[in-house]
Every structure is written in structure tokens, then in C-alpha cells.
Structure 1
Amino acid sequence: MLKQRVITAVVLLIILLPAMFAPMAWPFALVTLLMIGAAGWEWARLNAAGSALAIGFGVLLAAACAGAMAAGWVHPGASPAWWLAFAVWVLGGALALRVGPSAWPQLPAVARWVLGFAALWTAWLALASARTSGVNYLLSVLCLVWAADIAAYFGGKAFGRRKLALAISPGKSWEGVWSGMLGVLVLAGAWIALDRSIQPDSASLYTLLLQRFGVIGLVLSLVFLSAMSVVGDLVESLVKRAAGAKDSSGLLPGHGGVLDRVDALLPVFPIAMALSSL
């Protein structure tokens, strides 16, 4: 299992890193478009779609992403899509977590497909647009999610007592969530200092939030983004539990599926872009 995880991770890095650091933004947009199409296939399979329909869903999602790129919607500026995603994740995510896994399958399959399509499409649009803002900005948002996840894991292991969502993800605790938030704040402080010392290709998310909202606004924004990364993780866990699946698929040996790797990114990127564009 460990060997599989390492091999898969190395292959992904070989594909993603050259695309991320390419002089133009389109290679990264293209690679992530293919990944989000695969995630769409996984979402449809988890939500009562047959094999052919699930493939069609993934292809349609990828085509919608390509259409957005062709239409010039991939850019670093403001977009109504960010605020649409903001509302869907804050309101819809909270409602889904409140009703739990047992109520999710009671939603019509078409409604679940539409929600998944909207979440995945806006996430890809924000991810691709973040790359046009600069590599430093893109990495700062990615690392926010990773720092929250890593700090939550170790904080939960060390201090976890009170369960966060027992029916959805028994391993998560409130102490883990708070540890994740603290980890993100530490990362932000270090990144802002780095921005000031080396002057990278673009401002990071943290520097932009500090410039726009001050220290208190920065802290509140990062706490909120950390919380939304947990919501993304929990929503995917809810969908898998409702479907009786351990992983979203077996596309990434040792890691599960694409959704298993990007679930926390789905709400964070559009919300980060929304806050950055204020």
C-alpha cells in the first residue's frame, strides 16, 4: 500500500509540477480539466448514475470547463461564479451536514448531479483562474488546504476528544479542526514574511487578504477558509457513506479517487478567489 501511494504521488507530481510552473497558464488548466472530468465521473457513480451516464457526466463537465476557458472566463478578476460557489457551499454544505448521510439519497438523483456539477465546475474555474494570478498565489491556496489537513490530523491524534461528525467521519474531532486553523495561521505568517523578503511572481493569498482586510480580517478569513476545507471533506465523506463506498474510485492506487484528493479544495478555491477579488 505504501509503495502504491508513493508511486502514484510521484507520477502525479511529474504531471502537475511542469504544468504548474509552465510559462503559460493553459497547461495547468488542461491537466486540471482532465482531473475534474474524472472527479465528475466519480461523483455521478456515487450518486446513482450507471456506467455510461457517469462517463457522459464527466465528459460534459470537462467540456463545460473547456468552454469556459475558450470564452475567456479563466482570469484573475472577480466573477459571479465565486459568489455562487460561496453560497452553495455555505448554505448547501451546512444543510447536507445537518441532515446527514441517510437523507442524501432521498434527494432526486438529478438534483445531486446538478449540485456536483456546479461544485466541480466552479472549483475548476477558480483553480485555473488562481494560476493566472500567479504561481505564488496558487501555491498559497493549495498549501492552506494541506496545512489545515496535516495540522488537523496531528492535532486530532494528540488532543482529539470531542467528535465533530460521528455519523459522517468518525475520526474527525473539534480539536483537530482548531489545530488545522492554528496551522493555517502559522503558515500565513511565515508566507507573508517570505513574500516580503523574496518578492515572488505574485502576491500570495495571505498578503492579499492582509492588504485588503488588515490583521483581524486576515485571521477571520483564514479561519473561515480552514472551516470550509473541513466542510468540503465532510460533504464528500457524506456522499461516499450514503453510497456505501470507502473511496470515490480506484483511479489513484493507494489514494482512492480524484475526489478523495481534492474534496477539501472544492469550496476553498472559489471562496478564496471571491475574498481576493473584493
Structure 2
Amino acid sequence: MLKQRILTALVLVAVLLPALAAQAAWPFALLTLLFVGAAGWEWSRLNQAPGWRAWVLAGAVVGAGVFMAHRLGLPVWQAHVGQTMASVSAHIHAWGEAPVGFLVPGWVWWLGAALWIPFTALMLRWGSAHWMSVPQDLRRVLGLVFLVLAWLALVDGRAQGLNFLLSVFCLVWAADIGAYFGGRAYGRRKLAPTISPGKSWEGVWAGGVTVLLVAALWVLVDRHGFADSPSLYSRLWSGLGPVGAVLALIVLIAMSVAGDLVESLVKRQAGVKDSSQLLPGHGGVLDRVDALLPVLPLAMAAMTLCHG
């Protein structure tokens, strides 16, 4: 199992790093579009719609992603990402416009927040008893919307700069790693024993502290001008101030945990351990991106509040 996990991780890194480093927009956009399409296939299967219906949802995710990227003017197929960034006007904060440095209007991200926050609250309160009684088509549509929003945020974040996108990824990774080690060392009170028995409140606090430490170090590094763009943390610090930045990060950390729990709940309701076996040794795509799904659009929503 360990050998399989390592081999899969090496293959993923070998594919992802060149796409991230490419000057053209399309390698990263295409690769991530394939991933969210696969996640759509998994989501359908987890929600009692396997077979051809799962392939239909996968195709719908890909098609809707391409359609929305075209309508919003995202640089999906451009030969050079920076071409779009050079044309963006500074200090735009109108509701119908994208914030400075970005391309998607802020209302798209706040729509995502308006869906994700009550959805996770309802799922964690009543999902264990009622999720499978929700109409199947509605469950699949929710998956479609959430996956397309996450992909749009990936493309818009990549257009902003590699440093920004990696800082969002690292928020989720730091929260997860901190929670794992903090929970193992100090975990006493169960966070959601009926959904994910291994998670504890102490692990959540440890993950939060880890993220705040990473954010502080990242801001210091950004100030030396080593990166291609400001990170999420620097933008929050300059746009919202120290208190506002910490509050925004707390919300993102909470949504990272919630995203993980929601996927665990859906898998538990489906009676499976992993969302699929597409990634040998790691489970499925959803198993790897569950926490990112709410964090990506909410991080972009937070950017609309930054006036610096």
C-alpha cells in the first residue's frame, strides 16, 4: 500500500508541476478540468447514480466549466497567462466587476459562499439522517455547481499568480497536517464522531494554529519580493488588516474542515471508504480535494473585501 501511494504521488507531481509552471494557461486549466470531471463521476456514483449517469455528470461538469470560463472571459486557452493580467484595471471593487488582479465578478464567489455555508451547516446538522432522502437530481446538481465553482476559482487564481494559488492550497494542507499531528498528540473531544471518528476539536485548533503560523511566515517572505504575485495571506493582511485577515482565515479553516466532513458523511451514507480507486493508494479525486472545494470560492470571495 505504501509503495502504491508513493508511486501515485510521484505520478501526480510529475503531471501537476509542469502544468503549474507552464507560461500558457491551457495545461493547468485542462488538467484540472479533467480532475473535476473525474470528481463529478465520483460524486454521481456516491449519490446512487452510477454507470452512464455518472459519465453524464462528469461531462456536464466539464461542459459547464468550459461554458462559464468562456462567458466570464477566463484565460483558459491563452498562450500566456500574463497577457490577461496586464489588462486588468487596478482597485476595482464594484459588485459586478472582478476585484483587482482577478477576472471573475465578485458575485460569482459570493453565490458560492451563499451555497456552501448553509449547505455545510445543514449537512453537519441533519445530513447523517436525511442526505439520501434528498432528491437524487438535486444532489447531483449541487455537486455540479460546487465542482464548477472550484474549477473557476482554480483558473482565476492561477491567472493571478502561482504564489497566490499555492498559498490557498497550503492553507488546506497546513490545516490538515496540523490537525493530524495535533489530534494524535492531544485529541480528546471528538469533533463529529458519527461522521469521522478520528477527528477531534483539539486537532482542529492545532490545524488553525498551524495555518496562522504559515500565514505569518508567508507574509514575511512575500515582503522580500521573491514571488510572482502576492499570496492570499498578504492580500488579506493588506486589504483587511491583521484582525480582518485572522477572521477571514478562521472562516476558511472552518470551511476546510467542513468540506472534509461533508465528503466523509456522503461516503458514509454511500457505504464506502473511498470516493473511488482512481488514485491507487489514495482513494479518489474527491478524497484529495474535498477540503479545497469550499475553500477555493470562499478565498476568492474574501478577495472582494480587500481594498488594498
TM-score class normalised by the smaller sequence = over 0.9
CA distance in 2, matches of 1:229, 1:128: 19
Alignment root-mean-square deviation, CA: 1.1
2:43 alignment partner AA: W
What corresponds to 1:232 in structure 2?
259
Choose 156-165 or 73-82, whichever is displaced more: 73-82
CA distance in 2, matches of 1:272, 1:54: 29
Residue 60 of structure 2 contacts residue 144 of structure 2 at CA under 8 Å; is this kept in 1? Answer: no
TM-score w.r.t. structure 1 length? 0.97
Residue 156 of structure 1 contacts residue 176 of structure 1 at CA under 8 Å; is this kept in 2? Answer: yes
CA distance in 1, matches of 2:27, 2:253: 28
1:246 alignment partner AA: K
Choose 84-93 or 136-145, whichever is displaced more: 84-93
Choose 125-134 or 76-85, whichever is displaced more: 76-85
1:2 alignment partner AA: L
CA distance in 2, matches of 1:168, 1:191: 33
What corresponds to 2:274 in structure 1?
247
2:8 alignment partner AA: T
Question: How many residues are treated as equivalent by the alignment?
Answer: 278
Q: Which of 153, 160, 182 does residue 133 from structure 1 map onto?
A: 160
Q: Please state whether the residue corresponding to 1:235 is helix, strand or coil.
A: helix
**What's the offset of the Cα at 1:67?**
1.6
CA distance in 2, matches of 1:31, 1:181: 30
Q: Please state whether the residue corresponding to 1:178 is helix, strand or coil.
A: helix
**What's the offset of the Cα at 1:276?**
1.0
What corresponds to 1:111 in structure 2?
138
Residue 187 of structure 2 contacts residue 200 of structure 2 at CA under 8 Å; is this kept in 1? Answer: yes
What corresponds to 2:3 in structure 1?
3
Q: Which of 162, 185, 196 does residue 169 from structure 1 map onto?
A: 196
CA distance in 2, matches of 1:224, 1:268: 9
| Structure with greater contact order relative to length (CA < 8 Å, sep ≥ 6) | 1
**What's the offset of the Cα at 1:5?**
0.4
Residue 123 of structure 2 contacts residue 262 of structure 2 at CA under 8 Å; is this kept in 1? Answer: yes
Choose 49-58 or 20-29, whichever is displaced more: 20-29
Q: Which of 106, 110, 118 does residue 83 from structure 1 map onto?
A: 110
When you count helix as a share of all residues, which structure comes out higher? 1
- Structure with greater Cα Rg: 2
- What are structure 2's unaligned runs of at least 5 residues? 76-101
After superposition, the C-alpha distances for 1:163-212 in whole angstroms (9 at most, x for unaligned) are: 01011000000111111110000000010011011341100000000011
- What are structure 1's unaligned runs of at least 5 residues? none
Q: Please state whether the residue corresponding to 2:223 is helix, strand or coil.
A: helix
1:67 aligns with 2:74: no
1:146 aligns with 2:166: no
Q: Which of 175, 182, 193 does residue 220 from structure 2 map onto?
A: 193
Q: Which of 94, 97, 105 does residue 121 from structure 2 map onto?
A: 94
Residue 123 of structure 1 contacts residue 270 of structure 1 at CA under 8 Å; is this kept in 2? Answer: yes
**What's the offset of the Cα at 1:70?**
2.7
CA distance in 1, matches of 2:49, 2:162: 37
**What's the offset of the Cα at 1:73?**
4.1
Residue 100 of structure 1 contacts residue 167 of structure 1 at CA under 8 Å; is this kept in 2? Answer: no
CA distance in 1, matches of 2:140, 2:62: 14
1:226 alignment partner AA: I
Choose 84-93 or 67-76, whichever is displaced more: 67-76
Q: Please state whether the residue corresponding to 2:279 is helix, strand or coil.
A: coil
